[in-house]
Amino acid sequence: MDTLSYKTKSASKETVERKWYIVDAEGEVVGRLCTQIATILKGKHKPSYTPHVDTGDYVIVINADKVRFTGKKWDQKEYITFSGYPSGQKRIKASKMHEKKDYVVIENAVRGMLPKNILGRAMFKKLFVYSGSEHPHEAQKPEPIKF
């Protein structure tokens, strides 16, 4: 009896190989950039992608202060936070948020594109966003990636 058995290899936590990528965000549109970053963090760019395992890679984003929005989003887009207390809701326009903490614009966009569970929180920890062109991850030898 000569049967061939083809089994799909499912990735596990021990078999995942992670790479480091560096992304230059200068002049990039926030939404288009962040969808690509979220895909890498999830691991969907790999053939070994497994939905229930964190197969994603590490991503370093530099020049987060030089991203752009299309249209009138700088004046119309609002980031809403809620403390949980009565009248604890705050709204901050994208332009103000960019002045105060420019890296938060990218972090919020990517966080919204990841799963809302323990796995998504683990994926988000592999994202490093920096305002300037300097970063402390030279020892990991990140590969530049262009979208």
Query: Tell me: the pLDDT tens digits for 92-122?
Result: 999 999 999 999 999 999 999 999 999 999 9
Q: Is 35 helix (H, G, I), strand (E, B) or coil?
A: helix
Residue 100: C-alpha distances to residues 97, 103, 119 (Å): 5, 9, 29
Q: Which domains does the chain have, with CATH numbers?
A: 20-144 (3.90.1180.10)
pLDDT tens-digit series, residues 40-54: 999 999 999 999 999
